[in-house]
Structure 1
Amino acid sequence: MAKRTALLRLLSAAAASVMAASALAAGPIVLQGQGSFTVGGSTLRHAGTFSEKNFLSPEGQTAYGDHGYVFYQIPSGARRLPIVFQHGGAQTKRTWESTPDGREGFQNIFLRKRYSVYLVDQPHMGEAGLSTRKDEGGNAWAGNPLFADQTFFRLCRLGDGNGFFKGSQFPGGAAAVDAFQRSWNPYSGPLDNELNAKVLGQLFERIGPAVLMAHSMGGTIAWRTPFYTNKVRAIVALEPGGTPFVFPDTEMPRPVKAVFEPLSATALGVPMEKFLKLTRFPILLVYGDNIAEKPVAAVGPDKWRTELEMARQFAAAVNRHGGDARVIHLPEIGIRGNSHFLMTEKNNVQIAGLIEEWLRSKGLDR
């Protein structure tokens, strides 16, 4: 045990050295501003009268919660449109900050490309952990301890019972795996993606037009955000899942069932006038490798088979109604080995470059 602890410390120190050397080699990032704020939220008043003699009692006091937390950085010579980064389920804005092996994450990569960045902790997560409601057992990821290391490793398609998938882009080593497992965050209240979308809409109303980049369950938040604001100029969705995808309620798609049925991709019907808001700007959906082509008894590859198929149906629906949605399955363009966390892996600069080129092709890089 002592030898293992010493090895992990050595690997962690090595990762920190790599991160520092990488940042220095890339040069400094010059900012013209940074800060943080909360957006949205609600309050709940407790009955009674406050008394200093019993100042820890809830009597007569007000609970604050259900808001989002936003950290932002504005680089010198910033482009016109910032990027809002929305994390996925059981994650926080840490998703975008750095990689498991200590290299620069999308936060710094896009800052270097002169995009202002707004990193969001959705309500009931991370630095937005206050909630006015208790979870009543409906949220599997509420509370500690979180016994889910094998669940996350397999659902995120890092590998299976035999270890990492062959050719994996995930940065290997015990320290990187440890950092990945410590990135998860339990919810402090119920999962409410409609609330999450409303809060994200309020953020866009505050900062103005921007690109929305979402990961995983952040996808279902992203699809609904334009229902609450007209300031979304593009959506980049990295492995959107944690469904549902949205469709016109008169055009619901055929079901895509997983072998373990609770993991099946799902769809949510919305009125046509709402759905058409998704046709007013371009949408890019990006999926990684090791996604099954047919049903298999492996929860990760099979779950994401259903999500990718539903994503293709979603894009087809958007395009059928005059929109501009594109699905990129990375192995089909020769990029292999990426897991569910493609923005944190060894080729994350390449993935960011692909996104940058797409933004440029849509005239959104000015």
Structure 2
Amino acid sequence: MKKSIIIVGIAALSCSISGKLNAQSQSTKQPIVLTDQGSFTVGGTVIKTPGTYDPIKRTAEGQTFHGDHAYVFYQIPQQAKKLPLIFWHGIGQFSKTWETTPDGRDGFQNIFLRRNYGVYLLDQPRRGNAGRSTEPSTIDPTPDEQTWFGTFRIGVWPNYFPGVQFSNDPETLNQYFRSMTPNIGPININLNVKAVSALFEKIGPAILVTHSHSGGMGWLTAIVQGNVKAIVSYEPGSGFVFPEGEVPQPIESSSGPLEAVAIKKEEFLKLTKLPIVIYYGDNIPSKLDNDNPGADGWRARLEMARIWAKTINKYGGDATVVHLPEVGIKGNTHFPFSDLNNMEIADLMENWINKKGILK
């Protein structure tokens, strides 16, 4: 019998410019009781130098190098629901994106643990805790955070969007920028899909939750891995797949054209076998906006997502695109799950899971 692990949910403390603590009070939270937690790696490759290793000379001859795996940290609560949640980060991010929010509140990790979901936080190959690449890469510390401020739709630097669901104190922005991490090797979509597929093979059926760049890789994972029972995708940014002969024209935007990807129809049809929901936040232009290229790229992605979902449903699938402002939820950035209203966003996701009967 496994022993219970009790974790008192204390949000990380962050000091605002006034010096006041900006975190939830310990006294307002109930303990999170776990039956298990741990970590492991999945997938990956091994390279070996020819020759025989000499333990005295200790040259590279005959030695191996294990890399290109994903890293996974998991927590299983008492009375866990039937299916756990696998959280996959976006570009320039790692598993931190699902943990404590930049302003010190519970992220989706703790929110869904408290709702009795098992959670698996992964770092894709060559990122974060999985930073062991079999291919070389150069990392240049090029200042670019003000660009990301716009692309992630917090505002147009240095101004925040009116009503944005992001705390505008300096320490929150500091924590936000420090959650970004580089690629320790080239991004390899097939490598990432294989690693995440290996995770599903290891743990069995689960719900996949993706963000941004991992959205497209999430579709590919579901195509090759039957243990993906549903997909929740926050602002997928690329990798929209269509049957051969049905690929829509590129959608122009002031940040460049968005192109879809052709795959075999029999592969595409596998995506019609599971429920899929896509969420996009606020402050996305309704028409071409050359004055705000960071946000305008998301206009093209939202439009492509709607075409993609329509194609899925044409073949009997169940795909839904939710533009949050259209359902009365205002001010969300590219990171709805860590915005100030992330409890409301979590409710929306859980209501969808329950409505679809995914846990039955």
Could you say which residue in structure 2 is the equivalent of 1:191?
187
Among 12, 19, 22, the residue aligned to 2:23 = 19
TM-score (norm 2): 0.92
Given the alignment, which residue of 299, 304, 325 partners 1:310?
Answer: 304
| Number of aligned residues | 347
Partner of 1:83: 85
Structure-to-structure mapping, 1:108-187, within 5 angstroms: 108-135=110-137, 143-187=139-183
Q: CA deviation at 1:193?
A: 1.4
Contact preservation (8 Å) 1:144, 1:186 = no
Residue 341 (1) aligns with residue 335 (2)? yes
Taking only aligned residues, the RMSD between alpha carbons, in angstroms, comes to 1.8
Aligned to 1:358: 352
8 Å CA contact 2:126–2:185 kept in 1: the answer is yes
Q: Tell me if 1:247 matches 2:250.
A: no
Shift in CA distance, 146/37, structure 1 to aligned 2, threshold 3 Å: farther
- The alpha carbon displacement at 1:61 in A equals 1.3
SS of residue in 2 equivalent to 1:274: helix
The answer to whether structure 1 residue 206 and structure 2 residue 202 are counterparts is yes
1:271 positional shift: 0.3
User: Aligned-pair distance for 1:148?
Assistant: 1.4
**Contact 1:202 / 1:228 at 8 angstroms: preserved in 2?**
no
Alignment counterpart, residue 285 of structure 1, candidates 274, 278, 288? 278
CA distance in 2, matches of 1:75, 1:312: 36
TM-score by length of 1: 0.91
CA contact (8 A) 2:14 2:23 kept: no
Deviations 1:187-233 (A, max 9, x none): 11110112111111111111111100000001011010022210111
CA contact 1:19–1:104 (8 Å) conserved in 2: no
Other structure's SS at 1:64 match: strand
Checking the alignment, whether the CA contact within 8 Å between 1:87 and 1:216 is kept in structure 2 is yes
Q: Within 1, Cα distance between the matches of 2:160 and 2:196?
A: 35
CA shift for structure 1 position 51: 3.5
Answer yes or no: is the 8 Å Cα contact 2:149–2:157 preserved in 1. no
| Counterpart residue type for residue 171 of structure 2 | A
Aligned to 1:45: 48
1:103 maps to amino acid: R
Deviations 1:138-169 (A, max 9, x none): xxxx6141421112111111110341111110
Q: Is the 8 A contact 1:204 1:210 kept in 2?
A: yes
Give the counterpart letter for 2:207 in structure 1. V
* Secondary structure in 2 matching 1:277: helix
The one-character-per-residue Cα deviations of 1:89-120 (angstroms, maximum 9, x if unpaired) are 11100010110011000000011111100101
The structure carrying a bigger helix percent of its residues is 1
199-208 vs 45-54, which moves further: 45-54
CA distance in 1 between partners of 2:14 and 2:313 (Å): 51
Q: Mapping of 1:234-273 within 5 angstroms? A: 234-241=230-237, 243-261=238-256, 264-273=257-266
Aligned CA distance change for structure 1 residues 255 and 353 (closer, same or farther; 3 Å): same
CA contact (8 A) 2:16 2:22 kept: no
CA distance 1:10–1:340, change in 2 (3 Å):
closer
Separation of aligned partners in 1, 2:125 and 2:355: 33
The CA deviation string for residues 296-342 of structure 1, in whole angstroms up to 9 with x for no partner, is: 12122210001100100110111011100000000101111111011
Q: Indicate if the aligned counterparts of 1:244 and 1:265 stay in contact, CA closer than 8 A.
A: no
Q: 1:276 aligns with which of 269, 273, 280?
A: 269
Note if contact 2:49-2:63 (Cα within 8 Å) is conserved in structure 1. Answer: yes
**SS of the residue 2:311 aligns to:** helix
The amino acid that maps onto 1:153 is: F
Match of 1:29 among 26, 29, 32: 32
Per the alignment, residue 5 of structure 1 pairs with: none
What letter corresponds to residue 247 of structure 1 in structure 2?
F
> 4+ residue stretches of structure 1 with deviation over 4 A?
12-15
Cα offset, 1:280, TM superposition: 0.4
> In 2, are the aligned partners of 1:85 and 1:120 still within 8 Å (CA)?
yes
Consecutive unaligned residues in structure 2, runs of 5 or more: 1-12
**Secondary structure of 1:11's partner?**
coil
**Post-superposition shift, 1:70?**
0.5
For 1:233, the aligned partner's letter is: K
- State the identity %: 46
Partner of 2:219: 223
